[in-house]
Structure 1
C-alpha cells in the first residue's frame, strides 16, 4: 500500500500546535453541524501572479504572501493530523478503562457465585442442627429430670450435650448469616461493576465516534493542503522562474531543517532537566509511582540519567517483527495480524521479543516502562527504544526508534506502517530492553 503523504507531520512549535488543534477542533465541529466555516484565505489568482511579475517589489511581496499561505496550509493540516492522533489515543485509553472494568465485573461475579455456594452450604448445616435441636427438645429433658430418680445423672449429661449442640447451632447460624451477607455484598459490587462497565463502553463508543470525525477532518485538511499547495507551488515557481517541484523540495527542506533544530532544542532542554534532577554527587529526586491505567493525569518518573544499554537481541527481534508489517494499513485499535495502530504495533513487536511493555495505549506504555525505571532521556535514545509524542504524562503517539534519526511507526489513518524520519519533537523515550 503506497504512502499517501511523504512530508513531515509537524512544522510548528508544540505550543502553536496545541492552540491550533483547539481552534481546529471547534471549527470542525461547527462545520460538521452545518454551521459556518472559518473564512478561506485569500489565495492569489494567476492574473495577480502575472501582474506581480512586472514589478520587482510587488513580485517579492507576492512571493512572501504565497510562502505564508503555504505555511498556513501546512500548519492547518499538521494540527488536524495531531488532533486525529490525540482522538485515537483518547479512544484507546477509554477502551483500556472499559476492559479493566469488564475484568472486575467478571471477577466479582465469579466471587459472588463462589460465595453463594458457601452460603448455601452454611444454610444447610444450620438447618440440620436446628432439626436436631427440635428433636432433642421434643423429649422434654426438663420433665424427665424431675422424675428421673436414680437416673438423674444420665439425664443431666443429655442436657449438657443439648446445650453444647445449641451453642454450636448458634455459631453455625451466625456463620451462615455472615456467608449470606458476603455473597449479597459481592453480588451488589458485581452489579455496580456491570453498570460501570456499561458506562465506560458507552464512553468508548463516543470516543470512537470522535476519533472517526477527527480522522475525517485530518484527511479533509490534507486534501485541501495538497490541492491548494500544488497551485501555490506552481505560482511560486512562476514568480521565481523555477519549477514547482524544485520549490516544493526547497520549502520542505527548510521546514525539515527547522524541525530538526526544534527537536534539538527540545532534546537539550530534556537533557538539562535531567541534569538538574540528578546532579553529580546528589541522588536523583524520587518520582511518584505511575498510574496503573491510561486515564487520569499522573506525573511519570523522570528518565534515568545513566540508563542501562539495550539488549541487542531483544531489540533486533522487536524491530524485525515490526519491519515485517511495513506497508500494512493503519486501523484504530489494530493489533495485527495485518492491521495496526501505533501502540498496537509496538506492543506486538516487543511481545514477539518476549517483553510486556503495557497495554494497547501509548500513554500506558510510557507509564508502565517509566514505572519500571526504564524511561530514558530523548537525547540518549538508542536503536530499539520507544519514542513518545505528547507531554505532561499523556502521550498520543509511540514509535520504534531505529537510530540515525529514523523511526518505524504506524502513523495514522491513510498512511500505512512505514519507516520514516523523526517528525516533530518527541517528548519522551523509554528502553523496554534496559
Structure 2
C-alpha cells in the first residue's frame, strides 16, 4: 500500500514519545543521531538548557525557544515530504504521458507503413492494367470491323471486353488514389505525433529532476528532525520537570537505539539473503527464469534485477491499485519484502526518491540511450544516491510496497531513449529471463 507524508512521519512521532519516556523512566529511547550533532548556533546545547534553569524568565524563554524549534522541525519535514510526493506524482504523470504517446505514435507509424504497402500494391495493379489496355488499344478495332465484316462478332466482343477492362482500371486507379491518400494521412499524423514526443520527453525529464530536488530537500528536513527532535524533547523535559541525569539517560538511549537499528538492519539483510538463496539455482547464476536475481553479470553485462516470479506483464491493464485501464510500463517481480534489488546493468543513478505512483524509485542511466527503473522500494530501502555510479549486480535497494502497490514487489522498467519498452524481449535479447 502507498504511504503518505503524514504516515511516514508516524514512526518518528513514536520515536519522540519514546525519547521523552526514557528521560522520565530510563526506558528505551528512540533517537537516531549523536546528541550534539546540531550546530550550537541553531539549537541549544545541554549546558545552555542547564544554565537557563538559573532564572524563571530565562527558563521560560528557553522553553518557548525549544517548543518553537520542535514545531519548526515537524512542520518543515511534513511540508518537504508533501512537496516531494507532489513532485513525484507530477514526474510519474509526465513519464506516463510520454510512454502512452510513444505507443500511440508507434501504432500510427505501423498503420502508415501498412497503408503504404497497400497503396504500392494498388498502384502496381493499376499499372499492370494500364499496360494491358495499352496493348489492346494498339489494334484499331473499328478499322478491323470495317475491313473484316465476317469477324464482326469477335470484334464486337473485343470492344465489350475492352470497355469492361477500362471500367475495372478506373476502379483500381480510384482505389489506388484513395489508398495513397490514406497512407499519406497516416504518415502525416505519425509525423505530428513524433514531433510532439520531444516536448513530452523534455517535460518528463524536467519533472524527474524537480522530483529529485524535492526528494533531497525532504530528506534533508527529515534528517534534521531525526537528528534534533528527540534531543530537544529531552531538553524540554529537563526544563519543565525535576528529573535528574536527563542528559546521561538521553545519551544512553541514543546508544540503545543505535544498537536496535543495527540489529534490525542485520535481520533484514539476513532475511533478504535467505530469500535470495532460496530463489537461486544451484549454479548461482542470476540469468535464469526460475526467479533468481543478481549474481555475476553475463557476457552482455546484464543480471536479473531481483528474485521472484513475474506477477504482472508489460502493457495495458486494469490497474489493481487505481482500478483504471492504464499502461503498465514494466514488469512486476515478487520476491519477499526487503529482498535485494540489483542494478540490472552498470550505470549512473539519475533518480533516487519519491516517484509518485512508482513509490520510492531508483532510475539508472545505463548508457547508449538505455535506462532502467526500479519502483516500490521500501521506505528507507534506497541504497544509492543521484550521481552515483553502480556496477551490474550491485545491490541498490530493497523490495517494498510503496506508491501504487498492493503488496511487496519490484516494478522493473527498461527504457530506450526515455520511452518504456517491454522488459521481457529487451532482457531476453541480452540473455536474461524475467
What's the TM-score, normalizing by structure 2?
A: 0.51
Aligned mates of 1:199, 1:83 — CA distance in 2: 24
Q: Tell me: CA distance 1:358–1:172, structure 2 relative to 1, closer, same or farther (3 Å).
A: closer
How does 1:326-341 map onto structure 2 within 5 Å? none
CA pair 358-77 structure 1, distance change in 2 beyond 3 A:
farther
Q: CA offsets, 1:2-54, max 9 Å, x none? A: xxxxx973259xxxxxxxxxxxxxxxxxxxxxxxxxxxx98557676345313
Residue in structure 2 matched with residue 141 of structure 1 by the alignment: 141
- Aligned residue in 2 for 1:116: 116
Specify the alignment match of 1:243 in structure 2. Answer: 247
2:378 corresponds to 1:409: yes
| Structure 2 gap ranges (5+) | 1-5, 12-40, 258-270, 278-291, 295-304, 327-335, 338-355, 362-375, 385-395, 410-434
1:31-430 pair list within 5 angstroms: 49-55=49-55, 59=59, 62-63=62-63, 65-226=65-226, 228-229=228-229, 232=232, 235-236=235-236, 238-239=238-239, 240=241, 241=244, 242-243=246-247, 246=250, 352-356=308-312, 366-368=321-323, 397=359, 409-411=378-380, 417=397, 430=406
Deviation at 1:216, TM superposition (A): 2.5
CA deviations over 1:59-114 (Å, ceiling 9, x no partner): 36633541342232033123313422432333233222222222222222232222
Q: Which has the higher helix share?
A: 1
Matched, 1:10 2:5: no
Query: What is the Cα deviation at residue 140 of structure 1?
Result: 2.2
Q: Which moved more, 1:213-222 or 1:114-123?
A: 213-222
Secondary structure at 2:8 match in 1? coil
Q: Deviation of residue 248 (structure 1)?
A: 11
* Residues 273-295 of structure 1, C-alpha deviations (whole Å, 9 max, x = no match): xxxxxxxxxxxxxxxxxxxxxxx
Q: What's 1:22 paired with?
A: none
Q: Deviations over 1:295-339 (max 9, x none)?
A: xxxxxxxxxxxxxxxxxxxxxxxx9899659xxxxxxxxxx967x
CA RMSD of aligned residues (A): 4.8
Distance 1:131 1:429, change over 3 A: closer
SS at match of 2:163: helix
Deviation at 1:365, TM superposition (A): 5.5
Contact 2:381 2:399 in 1 (8 A): no
Does the aligned pair in 2 maintain the 1:89–1:397 contact within 8 Å?
A: no
Per-residue CA distance 1:238-297 (angstroms, 9 max, x = gap): 4354137649979xx9xxxxxxxxxxxxxxxxxxxxxxxxxxxxxxxxxxxxxxxxxxxx
Q: 1:75 to 1:152 in 2, by over 3 A?
A: same
Decide whether the 8 Å contact of 1:141 with 1:159 is kept in 2.
yes
State the distance in 2 between where 1:100 and 1:428 align: 18
Residue 409 of structure 1 deviates from its aligned partner by: 1.7
Q: Decide whether the 8 Å contact of 1:102 with 1:197 is kept in 2.
A: yes
Q: Measure how far apart 1:120 and its partner are.
A: 1.2
Q: Structure 2: how far apart are the matches of 1:234 and 1:191?
A: 65
Q: Give the match's secondary structure for 1:139.
A: coil
Given the superposition, is the C-alpha separation of residues 218 and 364 from structure 1 closer, same or farther in structure 2, using an over 3 Å criterion?
A: farther
**Matched positions, count:** 279
Task: Give per-residue Cα distances to partners, 1:151-195, cap 9 Å, x unaligned.
Answer: 211110000010111111111111211221121122112112212
CA contact (8 A) 2:113 2:183 kept: yes
Q: 1:175–1:80: structure 2 CA closer, same or farther, 3 Å change rule?
A: same
Unaligned runs of 5+ in 1: 1-6, 13-40, 254-318, 326-335, 339-347, 373-382, 385-393, 400-406
Asked whether the 8 Å contact 1:74–1:225 carries over to 2, the reply is yes
Q: Distance in 2 between matches of 1:76 and 1:176?
A: 67
Structure 1 residues 96 and 428: alpha-carbon distance in aligned structure 2, compared to 1, 3 A threshold: closer
Structure 2 distance, partners of 1:418, 1:155, is 87
Q: Which has the higher strand share?
A: 2
Give the Å deviation of 1:412.
7.2
Equivalents in 2 of 1:138, 1:244: separation in Å? 114
Does the Cα contact within 8 Å between 1:215 and 1:413 map onto a contact in 2? no
